[in-house]
Structure formats: structure tokens, C-alpha cells
Homo-oligomer: A and B are copies of this chain.
Amino acid sequence: MDLNLTLEEQEFRDSLRSWLAEHVPEPWPEDDRDETSLQYWNYLRAWQKKLFDGGWAGVSWPSEYGGRGATPIQSSIFLAEIARAGAPQSVGIIGESLVGPTIIAVGNNEQKERFLPGILSGECIWCQGFSEPNAGSDVASLVTRAVRDGDDFIVNGQKTWTSFANLADWCLLLVRTDTEAPKHKGITCLLVDMKSEGVSVSPLRQMSGNSGFNEVFFSDVRVPVENQLGELNRGWGVAITVLMNERANLGSSLYVELQLSLEALIASVKKLTRDGQRLADDPLNRQKIAQAITELEIYRLSNDRSLSRLNKNAIPGSEDSILKLLWSEYSQRFAQSAMEILGDSVQLNDFDNGTWIYRYLRSRGSTIEGGTSEIQRNIIAERVLGLPKSY
């Protein structure tokens, strides 16, 4: 048991830190974050390009594909440092963390040559078309159809909760290619050009009023057969690969994001008063702050422990379900606590730029997105503890 970073890990972190110190752009003004504006998009693309030019795109990819072959721990250091430096969000994240690794794993050589370079350079932005309105947690019950017609598939259907779809160039799409087979066995994975005729995108507004997700409609969209990723009707296996990658390294950046928010709360609590008493001196607030610190630290430690295992075994394990539960429930409790501590004025959009309202509402989705808490608990019960299936 040695929880210090290794020398190599320290060097990786230090060189990244100094690069970031020089290259992170001015933050985009917080009250002007219209997710759909072209200026904002260009700002994000420019950052992706900068990362690429600096050699910091796709750090976890094997060097033969232009990456750095970073270990899981290094990858997580990367994400944590990026978050800590206040760098813009990564517009290439779907490509870098999901699509690229999947193409590397199951794509053919042509697909690798054609798609991988653009992902790293930021020229080609990806989105991921898995979720459907009627599928929900039961992803494999998807009904978007692809029917073979000559050298093309013809795709019809609808995807939802698709990040970046409004401006993405390509989409990693799951479609049903065999309606007779059991639901996991008739799914194929396609790489779809978002500029194809018949693709349309409309923003999906969240309860917070923000968009950030989209609905994507496919109406007789032609997809050339060579854009099939992996084998026909074996797309569920590809999806599993993607879903396994989805959260593996995410923890460290989620942690940093929450930590910055907790620090902001602590700063406010030290500054603000109620009825003349400093919020920081109120024993109830102190208990709530301490509980938030405790839970966040528990998340950090659980994440580190999981990373340390991943670093040895290279296979994301069932710890992910624990991390998902810890993170999502912490996010909600933390937002609730923050609102309780800050009191009435926290309702106003002009209080701390609306951060706490946004956090409160946005976190409501955290126990649903990416596998509901109920699904996570089922996974732990059945796969980790070996209990009989409940349904």
C-alpha cells in the first residue's frame, strides 16, 4: 500500500501542469454560456486543437495511434489537472474517450486510418447515439432500425440525450438490424456522418432550462456498409465496450469539479452572515460542511482505489457502480446542503451567478443518467454479491 504518486506519475503531472499554465485560455464568461452558439463552439474547438498541438490529445491512446499510452492513473491525473486548471470542457471527449478506444478495439484498419486522426486533432467531433426515448435504462430495447439496401444501410428512428449532436460531425450509432433475434443479438454499430441527408437534431431542454443534450432524428438516412463497426448483429458487445469506458477515468475530473464547488461554498460561508452571525460560525452549517467534505473525500478515496486496481488489471470493474452511486448521490446531497446553508437568497439567479440553482437542478439528473441508481444497485447485488436476478 503506497498512496504516493510514483515518480513517473509525478513527472507526468508536473509537465502537464506547466503546459496548462501557459496554454489554458481565458474562461468564457459564465453568464454567456449558450451551448448552441457558434462562437462558444469555436472557442471549444480551438482548445481541442491546442491540446492536440501540445501533444495532450488522447493521452490514454497507444502511441501508434498518436496517443501517449498513459496508464489509467495518468489519464486520471490528466483529467483532474485539466479540471483544476479551469480549462474549457473538452468538445472532443466523446471521440477521445469512447469512439476512439472502441474503433481501436474493434475497428478495421481502414476505419482506424480514416477516423482516428481527426478525433485527436479536433477536426472531427463525435456524438454517441445509444439512448432512445422508450428504452431508458433498458438500452438494448432500442428500436432505431437499419435495413440493408445494396451497399448501404437505411436508418430510421430517434435517439435522445445525445450530447454535442447539435454540432457533431459524426455519430457512433446503435441500430437494430435483426428484429427477430433476442434483443441483445440484433444490434449493430454504425459510424454515421451527421451531415447525411435525413439527419436532424433538436435541442433537449433540461428542467434547469439549459440544453446540452439533443434529440436526433433519422429519416431514411443512408449509411454505407463500410461504416459498420464490428460485426453485424454483434453491436451490443461494442456498446458494452463503450459503456465500460464511459466512466472509467471520469471520476477524477468529477471529483475536481465538485471540490472546486465545495471550495466556493466554503468561501461563501466564511464571507456571508445571517442575522449578523457568520454562516461559518453556525454549528448546523459546520456539520453540513463537514459532512460534505467527508462524502467528497470518500468519493476521492473510492475513486483512487478503483483507479489503482484499474492500473493493474486494465479492466474497469464493478467499482464503477459504487463510484456512480457515490458521485450522483453526493452531488444531490451537496446541492441540497449548499442551498440550506446559503438560505433564501440562493433562490435568485443573480446569487453566485445561479450556480447553486443550476447545481441543484442539474444534479437531479445524476441518479438517472448513465444508468439509474436502481440499475447500479442491481448490478452490485447481482454481479458483485451474486444474488439471484430480481426481474
Binding site for B on A (CB under 8 A): 282-284, 287
Shortest CB-to-CB span from A289 to chain B, Å, is 13
User: Helix, strand, loop or mixed for chain A's interface?
Assistant: helix
Q: Which B residues are in CB contact (< 8 Å) with A287?
A: 284
Shortest CB-to-CB span from A116 to chain B, Å, is 47
- Alpha-carbon gap, A49 to B282, bound state (A): 57
Shortest CB-to-CB span from A261 to chain B, Å, is 25
- The residue of chain B having its C-beta at the shortest distance from the C-beta of A284 within the complex is B283
Q: Which B residues are in CB contact (< 8 Å) with A282?
A: 283
Shortest CB-to-CB span from A306 to chain B, Å, is 31
Shortest CB-to-CB span from A378 to chain B, Å, is 14
Shortest CB-to-CB span from A194 to chain B, Å, is 40
Shortest CB-to-CB span from A269 to chain B, Å, is 16
- The residue of chain B having its C-beta at the shortest distance from the C-beta of A285 within the complex is B283
Q: Which B residues are in CB contact (< 8 Å) with A283?
A: 282-284
Q: Which B residues are in CB contact (< 8 Å) with A284?
A: 283-284, 287
- Alpha-carbon gap, A287 to B285, bound state (A): 12
- Alpha-carbon gap, A283 to B285, bound state (A): 11
- Alpha-carbon gap, A282 to B282, bound state (A): 11
Shortest CB-to-CB span from A372 to chain B, Å, is 17
Shortest CB-to-CB span from A370 to chain B, Å, is 25
Sample 5 A-B pairs with CB under 8 A, ordered by A number. Answer: A282-B283, A283-B283, A283-B284, A284-B284, A284-B287
User: Which 5 pairs, one residue from A and one from B, show the smallest C-beta to C-beta distance?
Assistant: A283-B283, A283-B284, A284-B287, A284-B284, A282-B283
- Alpha-carbon gap, A283 to B284, bound state (A): 7
Shortest CB-to-CB span from A244 to chain B, Å, is 30
- Alpha-carbon gap, A267 to B284, bound state (A): 23
- Alpha-carbon gap, A282 to B283, bound state (A): 9
- Alpha-carbon gap, A214 to B259, bound state (A): 54
- Alpha-carbon gap, A283 to B286, bound state (A): 11
- The residue of chain B having its C-beta at the shortest distance from the C-beta of A287 within the complex is B284
- Alpha-carbon gap, A287 to B288, bound state (A): 13
- Alpha-carbon gap, A282 to B287, bound state (A): 13
- Alpha-carbon gap, A88 to B282, bound state (A): 45
- Alpha-carbon gap, A118 to B282, bound state (A): 62
Shortest CB-to-CB span from A285 to chain B, Å, is 10
- Alpha-carbon gap, A8 to B163, bound state (A): 68
Shortest CB-to-CB span from A56 to chain B, Å, is 47
Shortest CB-to-CB span from A218 to chain B, Å, is 33
Shortest CB-to-CB span from A181 to chain B, Å, is 28
- The residue of chain B having its C-beta at the shortest distance from the C-beta of A391 within the complex is B390
- Alpha-carbon gap, A302 to B283, bound state (A): 33
- Alpha-carbon gap, A68 to B7, bound state (A): 86
Shortest CB-to-CB span from A341 to chain B, Å, is 14
Shortest CB-to-CB span from A283 to chain B, Å, is 5
- Alpha-carbon gap, A283 to B283, bound state (A): 7
Shortest CB-to-CB span from A280 to chain B, Å, is 14
